Amino acid sequence: MTNQKRESLHFIIPFFLVLLILAIVPFFASRFFQTFLTELFVWVLFAISFDLIFGYTALLSYGQALFFGLGSYTVTILMRKYGFNTELSLFLSIIIPILFAWFVGYFSVRLTGIHFVIITIIFAIIGNIIGETWTSFTGGSDGLTFSPHPFRLGLFQVDLVDIKGNYYFVLVIVAICFLFLRRMVQSPLGRIFISIRENEERARLIGYNVQRYKLIAFIIAGGLSGLAGGLYSLTLKYACASYLHWSVSGHAVVYTIVGGMGTLIGPALGAGIVMSLEHYLVDILMATDLVVGIVLVIMVLMAPKGLIGLLRLKFKRG
């Protein structure tokens, strides 16, 4: 018990230290940098939600873009066309993707390995085609814009048009989600996910309904990917059909592999490093995906456990 307490202390102190630093940043940083960080937080959320199904349950889903895009469209369409307020729209940007994830997952978790990868891609493509075609509702590839009104959240007045307000709003939500996911993977439920990853056959023989737990992981990840999409739209005040494209899921794959899958902190770190690389190399190379691709291939071959894996190895040795 004391060991576990010490370990959680090892996590909590650095976590809140980082949070504190990030909370001070807007007082020094340029507006441009603040927007960059806000987007980074959104991708961190997308990456850690992907880590739950890939890193913890070993399901490689290229369909997360579907839920990301759905969340983004939920916020945009509800606020633009139906005058919903921000809180409710954002809440529904979790609920609606959850319902879709339930449907998609219900069929997908029956398949394993490569078949699972492909069926999730197909679902995302269907979503993307519908988004591109149904332009009167979705705006197609041109997309839709909107502007959120300021609202009261408990003691705070939140104005998302203000860059700083947007920054703190996203930071707090992503931090809460991070703690939620961390708690979940350490809970008995999380242990079951890991047992499925390590040995699906054995988990089944112990008596766990493997498909049901895979579905649970898929639904939770889908809901949080939706929330990431919702926050992304609130940040950019915009949504378009290309958010639904299956290759958007590739972002989460890259961040998770680079950082280290099955660690939560790894994908967050991966998102930070890869996005900074893209951000600073965009002036030198017009194709940032080139760097992303090279980093991805190198990591897969040289350090399949990611940066966190490398760090752990070093600490063990030293």
Partner 1 sequence: MLSQLTVAILNGIVWGLIMALIALGLNMIFGLLHIINMAHGALYMLGAVVAWYLIEYIGSFWIALIVAPLLVGFIGLVIERGLIRTIEDKPITTIICTFGIMLVIQHLVLIVFGGSPRRISPPIAYRLPIFDLQYPSIRIVIALISIAMMIGLWLFLRKTKYGLWMRAVVQDREMAVGLGIPVNKVYMWTFVLGSALAAFSGILAAPIVSVEFMMGREVLIMAFIIVIVGGMGNLEGSVLAAIMISLIQGVGALFVPPSIATVFALAFMIIVLLLRPQGLFGE
Residues in the site for partner 1, rule: CB under 8 A?
A: 58, 60, 107, 110-111, 113-115, 117-119, 121-123, 125-126, 129-130, 132-133, 246-247, 250, 253-254, 257, 285-290, 292-297, 300-301, 304
Nearer to partner 1, 99 or 291 (CB): 291
Nearer to partner 1, 23 or 117 (CB): 117
Q: State phi, psi for 154 to the nearest 5 degrees.
A: 60, -120
- Measure CA 299 to chain center: 20
Nearer to partner 1, 12 or 130 (CB): 130
Question: Cβ 25 to partner 1, closest distance in Å?
Answer: 30
Nearer to partner 1, 62 or 169 (CB): 62
Question: Cβ 254 to partner 1, closest distance in Å?
Answer: 8
Question: Cβ 200 to partner 1, closest distance in Å?
Answer: 13
Which uninterrupted H or E stretch holds 239? Answer: strand 238-239
| 154 contact partners, CB below 8 Å, separation of at least 6 | none
Instruction: Report strand pairing: 238-239 vs 144-145.
Output: antiparallel
Nearer to partner 1, 58 or 175 (CB): 58
Nearer to partner 1, 21 or 114 (CB): 114
Question: Cβ 289 to partner 1, closest distance in Å?
Answer: 5
d(CA 80, CA 146) in angstroms, rounded, equals 5
Question: Cβ 302 to partner 1, closest distance in Å?
Answer: 10
On whether the CB atoms of residues 138 and 242 are closer than 8 A, the answer is no
Q: SS3 of 83, please?
A: coil
Amino acid at 101: A
Nearer to partner 1, 29 or 111 (CB): 111
Q: How many CA atoms lie within 13 A of 255 on its CB side?
A: 31
d(CA 300, CA 292) in angstroms, rounded, equals 12
d(CA 215, CA 235) in angstroms, rounded, equals 30
Question: Cβ 287 to partner 1, closest distance in Å?
Answer: 4
| 239 contact partners, CB below 8 Å, separation of at least 6 | 69, 72, 73, 75, 76, 77, 138, 139, 143, 144, 229, 233
Q: What does the DSSP assignment read for 137-186?
A: HH-TTT-EE--PPPEEETTEEE-TTSHHHHHHHHHHHHHHHHHHHHHHHH
Question: Cβ 59 to partner 1, closest distance in Å?
Answer: 10
Question: Cβ 167 to partner 1, closest distance in Å?
Answer: 30
Nearer to partner 1, 125 or 184 (CB): 125
